[in-house]
Structure 1
Amino acid sequence: MSQLKPTLHEQQSSKTKAFWFIVSFLVIAIVGLLYIKWWPYYQKGMLAADTHSIGTSILGDQSSATLSWKSAWDYAQVYFLSVWKAAILGILLSSLVQVLLPTQWLLKWLGKTSFGSTFVGGLASIPGMMCTCCSAPVAVGLRKKNVSVGAALAFWIGNPTINPATLVFMTFVLSWKFTLIRLFFGLILTFGISYLANRFVKDKQPIDIDQIITDNEPTGNFLSRWLKSLGNMVLFIVPAYVLSVLLIGAARVWLFPQIDSSANGLIAIIIFAIAGMLFVIPTAAEIPIIQTFMSLGLGGGPAAALLLTLPAISLPSLILVAKSFPKRVLFFVVGSVVILGIVSGLVGTIFL
């Protein structure tokens, strides 16, 4: 039996409801980001301009670090104290993406494998300014709404790599050369690699928005749907997140051995590119890490490799999004981050 065509009144009511759902999501996102990101980063920007520093390296004293669960716990404590507010906001926004934002609206802007959808996803990441693990839940929520791989990746990767606040801090603390290198390769990673990742998806078909039926939208009252979405995000994301951060925190003594003046060749660039890709840090933490490492003798090449790979992705964030993207896409992203990190390091060898 064919479905009855909605009346004009029902169509108008549905559009009005969708409009207020979108407005509600934007208000929640803006208030959350203002409190957790924008205002603190404004203050940190003033600090960076005055002192040419935004704090000490989150890695602490690597010379006394040992491979142990105490080392893992110590790092996890410092890390989660830095990101817990943003992590909660990321999980909250992920659940709200699934229940507030209309599927038709999302697919219209982010559902295609065209560069346009990837571009919109990358632009949407700019005000977020989250680290890779805090933006990962939102990317998961977008994929649950069938947003294209390219658009979801651009949002996930763009948050940490083209973060405007980090670029400002970097200019004051490191130099404008670091900022230009980061911006150049960050744009390639966010928009170029994300767009190319669409080619790794099987059976990719252009979405015909006109064929999407509003009856496919989830049914049930808003509160029950939101609590179910939030519960699923917390249940599946938080345990994996905590355990992976503990694991990578314990391994930091291997990933970042003691620095000396010999750690400046191509081999060092490759090692630091891989280590940076695996390691997990809060937003902008790459700046004091690089600042500290260079004071100990690290050259511009390995520093430039870390500049891109440290914030872009991490082992914990890859675990968080593992079920939302095809494996071949994630392998492509991992390889691309490492390769671009190495190229960034080679550029840094010449210009830094």
Structure 2
Amino acid sequence: MVAAALVTALAIAAVALAWSKWVPYLHKAVTLSGTHTWKGSSILAVGGVHASNAPSWHAATSFASAYFELVWRALVAALLISAAVSAFVPGSWVARVMNRRTKVGSAAVGGLMSTPSLMCTCCTAPVAATLRREGAGTAAVVAYWLGNPLLNPAVLVFLGFVAPWQWVVTRLAVGLVVVVGGSALVGRLVERDAEQRPAAVPADASRPVDGTWLAGAPRRFVLTLLRLGLILVPEYLVVVLAVGAVRGWLFPVGESGFVHAGVLVVIVAAVVGTLVVIPTGGEIPIVAGLAALGLSLGGVGALLLTLPAVSLPAMAMLVRSLGRRAVGAAAGVVALGGVLAGGLLTALG
């Protein structure tokens, strides 16, 4: 009975990912292997918005339109996978697989589980929220959330075709440190606040896994889709619009008087990169364009790590399930990882 339910969940996930990620990215990798050129410009420039432009409704809507055109398939897949986990996977099984004796072990499992789904930070958020609700610990959930964009095999392949090898090494090395070590640290920090924030309890922990449980799976599937669609998606849209509105202020590299190198630039890039929302692989044209405008290797490394890792919309979607402390700590770990990536890329040259 449980085996049939798990096979159903895996089948839904596999079909959704093949449609939204695996097949399209395979085609893109084949194309890049022949051209070694990334076609398309930075999503931050859509709608004719330039560096230092003031916030506007046009900037917000043009960005949101371009962004959702790129990620809608992945978002649909994420909602389907989230519903499948909630409906067909017993919460006790989620906790047993993802929660290990040590925080590092839990983070390693979460990071490993993230690699096949190839999602951006925002599309990962609904699945991460569901895993937390079904009993996965903070370290494992944060590692799954961060591992999707940072350890994304497709993006690493794309980088290998269009960028210097130092970029690939920096992204992978620091990404592993942030996903495993950083997520374990976040889990340990949150543990100190355990009295104020009770541990997650699987939604069906007290429910026997029998014929009644299996018969109720379709209803749970639909209810989860409705809950995620009515709660997460609207707040996701609002924050994406907000980020789009102010994007002209975020990367004024081309402006006169902007310092292109130095420690301050690395720090600013690391902080700004944690706020911006981009689609999978969207960091490649952004970072390449800024590098061409004179951004230092330190700034390039910081953005290469932080741009895909977290974003304001993803943080907004996860704050209810993980808590402000965990989400804030995860963002801080990513920002520090960005500084580390900037230093590593500078050293590699």
Q: TM-score, normalised by structure 2?
A: 0.90
Q: Secondary structure at the match of 2:184?
A: helix
- Paired with 1:241 and 1:112, the residues of 2 have a C-alpha distance of 31
Give the C-alpha shift of residue 118 in structure 1: 2.2
**Partner residue of 2:219?**
224
1:61-112 superposed Cα distances (whole Å, 9 cap, x missing partner): 5537442110111111110000001011111111111111112221211134
Aligned-residue offset at 1:346: 2.0
The answer to whether 1:300 aligns with 2:297 is yes
Matches within 5 A, 1:320-339: 320-339=317-336
Secondary structure, counterpart of 2:158 in structure 1: helix
Q: How many angstroms apart in 2 are the aligned matches of 1:225 and 1:88?
A: 17
Shifted more, 235-244 versus 101-110: the winner is 101-110
Structure 1: unaligned runs, 5 residues or longer: 1-16
- Range with bigger deviation, 195-204 or 268-277: 195-204
| Equivalent pair of 2:87/2:218 in contact (CA under 8 Å) | no
Judge conservation of contact 1:264–1:298 (CA < 8 Å) in 2: yes
Deviation at 1:194, TM superposition (A): 1.1
State whether structure 2 residue 76 is matched by structure 1 residue 88.
Answer: yes
Higher RCO structure, 1 or 2 (CA under 8 Å, sep 6+): 2
Q: Is 1:252 aligned with 2:247?
A: yes
Worse-matched range after superposition: 94-103 or 63-72? 63-72
Unaligned runs of 5+ in 2: none
CA displacement 1:165-214 (0-9 Å, x = unmatched): 100111111111100000011101111111122211315999999xx655
Instruction: Name 2:92's counterpart in structure 1.
Output: 104
Q: Secondary structure at the match of 2:313?
A: helix
Coordinate RMSD, CA, aligned: 2.3
Match of 2:158 among 169, 173, 192: 169
Asked if the contact 1:47–1:54 (Cα under 8 Å) also holds between the matched residues in 2, the reply is no
2:27 is equivalent to residue 18 of structure 1: no
d(CA) in 1 for partners of 2:122, 2:305: 15
Deviation at 1:266, TM superposition (A): 1.1
Query: Greater shift after overlay, 85-94 or 112-121?
Result: 112-121
> Which of 9, 12, 23 is the matching residue for 1:28?
12
Per-residue CA deviation, residues 144-174 of structure 1 (Å, 9 max, x unaligned), is 1011111111111100000011001111111
Work out the CA distance in 2 between the residues paired with 1:187 and 1:321: 22
Specify the code of the residue in structure 1 equivalent to 2:153.
P
* CA displacement at 1:336 relative to structure 2: 0.9
Contact 2:16–2:81 under 8 Å retained in 1: no
Measured after TM superposition, the shift of residue 223 of structure 1 is 2.2
CA distance in 1, matches of 2:329, 2:162: 32
TM, length-normalised to structure 1? 0.89
Identity percentage of aligned residues: 37
What is the Cα deviation at residue 28 of structure 1?
Answer: 1.3
Partner of 1:144: 133
Aligned to 2:42: 57
SS in 1 for 2:322: coil
